[in-house]
Amino acid sequence: MDAGPGVLDEAIAERAKFYVGGSWVPPGGQEVISVANPYTEATVGNVPAGSSEDVERAVAAARAAFSDWSSTPALERSKLIARLGEALGARMSQMSELISTEMGMPINLSNMIQVGLPIVTFDSIARILQEMPFEEMVGNSIVVKEPVGVLGAITPWNYPLHQIVAKVAPAMAAGCTVVLKPSEVAPLNAFLLADLMEEVGVPDGVFNLVSGTGSIVGEAIAGNPGIDMVSFTGSTRAGRRVAELASRSVKRVALELGGKSACIILDDADLARAVAVGMSMCFLNSGQTCIALTRMLVPRSRLSEVEEIAAQEVADYTLGDPFSGSTRLGPLVSSAQRERVRSYIVKGMDEGAKLVAGGPESPAGLDTGHFVKPTVFSEVSGEMTIAREEIFGPVLSIIAFDDDDDAVAQANDSSYGLSGAVWSADRDRAERVARQLRTGQVDINGGSFNPQAPFGGYKQSGYGRELGRYGIEEFLQTKALQF
């Protein structure tokens, strides 16, 4: 059990072994990775630092398990995946507190998002799998969908469990076996998930866990010829490296990378509501969200109104202890991330953006913790650094446009294309604008996240899709049998 908010039980926090082939096995080396609480800045746990030899063992176990697992009837795989969701639900409080301790999200949001979404994903994948056709007749051919093989999954720290489950659940549903490398920044939740895999009886070798750094374990996974596909979520820079290594064995690659998403508020929108919701989607998880709506595009004639609303809204974003019910923004995940975000704020000021709220200074009264003030810039032009680069912190850029065509052009003027939003009193108008955005998903008038809809990006936001039926299909190969 958890020892209390921000303090972890030793059995959860001190991990000395990897989960490989259905057993907890010692690593080949002695190095460990310490896990820090970004609010207290104290070390809260340790995990082994894996090597390429550890990856080889995990790949061998996954390959040995593939034949039996891939031939297991879909209904049986579905039942097991559903049991994983139930087991996670039974440990929801423990997992939520663990993730808030590891990466700083306020506990009420951790319950709903960091753990709630993975539970929904397990359940939805289990149900979808029962209804999926894996073959069809096309003329004189039987077209068969088969699992791609062994999946190497490399996942990030910002939504650690959600991004793991978004890969592992559909891959297992498709009949693949998995080698997982969680982020070394927030890895403890992955070890607790491995406990659940063991608890519900996932067959030996279907799920394997090796923790470590991206430069060692991540690269070993991406380049290992025994892995048939790699699915990576993280920065665009790291995604390029994964694709480069994977190309040497011509394995399939799915990449979910950075974003610089635009929230377009048209001139007939409910301005107060659109700005408030748009800001919440920028500052969620302290801005450490790949689909964060970090560019707010507003009519030039209403720019001053938007600035006033934004300044009022920022005051409600209380910084503090992730385990306090009054906290809306927790710390950033690390001191390096904090300094990176602050440097972008300084750059925005240096390049001439108007500072509406926030700034690079440390928040008053918070002497420990990796905090950054929620910051709003206005009069931002498209060539400014803060309008073009992914900051991954609570920083909003307000950009003026002249008409609908100008709004679309500015929204699409980005190397990224992961998400977006459009607000208008006229739904048809909003949809027309949304259809013109070169991005993987668009929220219209506050449309909520749909865990069964495809998730993924255009351009340098990556390729491939996760979640729902589309997520399962990502891990399938197509074969034609002619008669």
Phi-psi bin for 388: left (phi > 0), alpha (psi -120 to 50), beta? alpha
pLDDT confidence band for 8 (50 / 70 / 90)? confident
Mean pLDDT over 93-118 rounds to 97
Active site residue 290: yes
The answer to whether residue 390 scores a pLDDT higher than 80 is: yes
Domain co-membership, 280 together with 232: no
Listed residue (227, 233, 234) closest to 248, CA to CA: 227
Q: Is 282 a catalytic residue?
A: no
Q: Quick check: is 40 in a domain?
A: yes
Same domain, 18 and 154: yes
Catalytic residue among 102, 290, 390, 474: 290
85 and 224 fall within a common domain:
yes
Does position 6 have pLDDT exceeding 80, yes or no?
Answer: no
- Reported confidence tier of residue 428, pLDDT bands at 50, 70, 90: very high
Identify whether residues 329 and 476 lie together within a single domain: no
pLDDT at 1: 39
Please write the tens of the pLDDT for every residue from 30-42.
999 999 999 999 9
Provide the 8-state DSSP code for 110: I
Residues 250 and 287 in one domain: no
Which percentage of the chain shows pLDDT scores above 90? 98
Answer yes or no: do 333 and 241 share one domain.
Answer: no
Average pLDDT over every residue of 413-419: 98
- CATH number, domain of 368, equals 3.40.309.10
CB distance 421 to 292 below 8 Å: no
Pair (174, 319) in one structural domain: no
Can you tell me the mean pLDDT for 424-444? 98
Binned at pLDDT 50, 70 and 90, residue 2 comes out as very low
Identify whether residues 61 and 159 lie together within a single domain.
yes
- pLDDT tens by residue, 326-375: 999 999 999 999 999 999 999 999 999 999 999 999 999 999 999 999 99
Residues 160 and 212 in one domain: yes
Task: Return the structure tokens found at 478.
Answer: 């197509």
- State residue 169's pLDDT score: 98
Instruction: Indicate whether 469 belongs to any domain.
Output: yes
pLDDT tens digits for 359-368? 999 999 999 9
- Residues 257-295 pLDDT 10s: 999 999 999 999 999 999 999 999 999 999 999 999 999
Query: Does any domain span residue 146?
Result: yes
CA 469 – CA 125 distance, rounded (Å): 7
Report the CATH number that the domain containing residue 183 is assigned in CATH: 3.40.605.10
Q: Please tell me the distance from the alpha carbon of residue 474 to that of residue 461, in angstroms, as a whole number.
A: 17
Residue at 456 is within a domain = no
Has residue 299 got a pLDDT over 50? yes
The parent domain of residue 398 ranges over 262-450
Edge-first strand listing for the sheet containing 207-209:
23-25, 18-20, 207-209, 177-181, 150-154, 229-233, 252-256, 462-463
Short-list 322, 306, 290, CA closest to 401: 306
Tell me, what's the pLDDT at 235?
A: 94
- If one counts the domains in the chain, the total is 2
Q: Per-residue pLDDT for 252 more than 50?
A: yes
Average pLDDT over residues 199-226: 98
Residue 2 in any domain: the answer is no
pTM confidence score: 0.96
**Is position 4 within any domain?**
no
Please indicate, yes or no, if residue 338 is contained in any of the structural domains.
Answer: yes
Q: How far apart are CA 210 and CA 223, in angstroms?
A: 15
Question: Are residues 313 and 198 part of one domain?
Answer: no
In tens, the pLDDT along 128-180 reads 999 999 999 999 999 999 999 999 999 999 999 999 999 999 999 999 999 99
In this structure, are 237 and 306 located in the same domain? no
**Pick from 82, 197, 161: which is nearest to 129 by CA?**
82
Q: Are residues 344 and 470 in the same domain?
A: no
pLDDT, averaged across the chain: 97
303 belongs to a structural domain: yes
Residue 9's pLDDT is 87
Does position 5 have pLDDT exceeding 80, yes or no? no
Out of 184, 219, 256, 474, pick the active-site residue.
Answer: 256
